[in-house]
Amino acid sequence: MDTMKAKTRKPLGQFLNDNSSVIAVLLLILLGTAAYGTTFLNYKKNLINVLHTASMMGIMGLGVNLCFLIGARDLSVGALAALVSMVTAWLAPYGFPVAVAGGLTVGAIFGAFNGVIVSMFKVQPFIATLGTQLAARGFALLINKELSISLGTNAPQLKYVGNGNVFGLIPFPTFAFIVLILVLTVILRKKDFGRGVYAVGGDEGSAEMMGIHVNRTKIIVFTISGLMAACSGIILCGRLSAGHPTACEGWEMTIMAAVVLGGTSVRGGIGKIHGVFLGCLFVTFITNLINLNGHISAYWKDIITGVVLLIAVLVQVYSDKQKEKVKHSRKDGE
């Protein structure tokens, strides 16, 4: 009887871990509504800006989430997005297709390079991507001697990518974010590559024994991460009507916090793509509430995010322990 209860009962830690981002976002919405009422809930004047920022951050977060799933980290995404924004603005006079293709190519090259360094040369992802972060930021600053590159009055398509609305309601960055979430979700659930990602994150040795090409999987994941950063860089360029070499500084840590808050395990092998959406909404809502207040220091955003991140990690640890207890109780029952 006790064994049956252990099988059917969902541990509290697992429930909190699976739904932490939903709970956190709902609490912030309730707090914002209670404190600022219609100002907070005004879609055109407030919530649409939250969606813009959360989506740009979230698209980068999709790639970072994949890296987490294989047990790796990517610290280069913010600097790479800034570099791509510069390249896109620089190529904008040659036409929209050339500018977008150039930006995506830069992202893919940096991402693939990260993957090769990590997989083939066995360099720790933290160190490898820290190196490419510095390189990408340096290139971004060199392109126009530390100055931004304005799109001027041209490039309407790029500006639509950054500021346009689909159906007159959904910001284009949010629409792109949702489409990418759906595509990556299908890939992870239905394709061999998706199963390989989770297997590599769970145990590389076991993944190799299953016939999974571990190195190839890592290279593809980091390449996708580079492409996601490039997409954010292109959107950023359109949003600001310029390429900015210092854009997205410090975003890497915030994005990693959003990924963990979205339910992806820091150990790898466990997580869902759509959790990034809620995680990014959470960290963006914190900034939004501080800005609406006007009297609270912006540094409180980092403090609050850090505390919530630690709580999320502790919940993950507690959830893992609860799962182990359930497994042991099942074995004892057998």
Q: For 6-44, what is each residue's pLDDT tens digit? A: 444 556 556 556 666 677 777 888 888 888 888 888 988
pLDDT at 25: 77
pLDDT at 87 over 70: yes
240-273 CB burial, b ≥16 within 10 A, e <16: bbbbbbebbeebbebbbbbbbbbbbbbebbbbbb
pLDDT at 60: 97
- Domain 2-333: CATH class, spelled out: mainly alpha
Question: What's the rounded mean pLDDT across residues 298-308?
Answer: 85
Average pLDDT score, the chain: 89
User: By C-alpha distance, which of 187, 94, 79 is closest to 133?
Assistant: 79
pLDDT at 320: 72
pLDDT at 113: 98
- Looking at the DSSP bridge assignments, the partners of residue 149 are 243
Question: What's the rounded mean pLDDT across residues 223-232?
Answer: 98
| DSSP states along 118-138 | HHTS---HHHHHHHHHHHHHH
Question: What's the rounded mean pLDDT across residues 271-288?
Answer: 90
pLDDT at 305 over 90: no
pLDDT at 232 over 80: yes
pLDDT at 131 over 90: yes
pLDDT at 17: 60
pLDDT at 63 over 70: yes
Q: Specify whether the CB–CB gap between 115 and 220 falls below 8 A.
A: yes
- Alpha helix segments (H runs only) across the chain: 2-8, 12-41, 48-69, 77-91, 96-119, 125-143, 156-163, 172-190, 192-202, 204-209, 214-240, 251-261, 275-293, 300-333
| Weakest-pLDDT range from 3-7, 83-87, 105-109, 245-249 | 3-7
pLDDT at 37: 82
d(CA 256, CA 262): 10
pLDDT at 153: 81
pLDDT at 240 over 70: yes
Domain ranges across the chain: 2-333
| DSSP states along 269-285 | S---TTHHHHHHHHHHH
pLDDT at 238 over 50: yes
pLDDT at 4: 42
pLDDT at 3: 45
Tokens of 227: 């492409």
d(CA 232, CA 228): 6
